[in-house]
Amino acid sequence: MVPKKIKLLIFDRDGTLIRDTGYPIYKSDLYWMPGSLNLLKELKRRKINAVIATNQSGVARGFFSLEEVNQFHNLMLEQIAKAGGHINKIEICPHLLGAKVKHYSLDCECRKPKPEMINRLLLSMRCSPENAIMIGDRISDIEAGQSAGVASYLFDQNNIEKFVLSKIELLETSMIHESNN
């Protein structure tokens, strides 16, 4: 069976939805990429779920705590909701082998480019890989998505709204054509 509808967008955080200002963690670090808030509003309107999969090695490096990451995510979620959008879930990997904070210094399965975060999101959102898209600004994002069987696209740092909507249209159109053949 060939799917005809994208049901889940999996986003990297830094450099994709928000600017990568070098370990963004404070309100003053939160700058949305052009089109990202409009995109999240449009996805909500279309009833397409949106989630985030983000490596946050700053925790393992001792730059900030897991609680600070969660507070930053709450700030993001507030701004997204205020703009009319929605994020269903955020998965983070705080690990980095050889890092300063020993508790987080490990070779885990969740750190991208490994697919564990993506697989967890697919499972929790009850979505098959064929009905999902991964968007990220690094090769590790793309490798994680592809390893999980998800169509994955390297974001070109322009307007994310136009970029993502064109990918949804492209995939849904090609899926419809495949099912008609």
Which residues are part of the catalytic machinery?
12, 14
Structure tokens at 168: 């949804």
Rounded to 10 deg, the angle between the 36-45 and 160-180 helix axes is 40
Contacts of residue 78, Cβ cutoff 8 Å, sequence gap at least 6 = none
Buried/exposed code over 105-119 (b: 16+ C-beta within 10 A; e: otherwise): eeebebbbebbbbbb
3-state helix, strand, coil in the chain (%, to 5): 45, 15, 40
Who's near 142: CB < 8 A, 6+ residues apart?
134, 136, 152, 153, 154
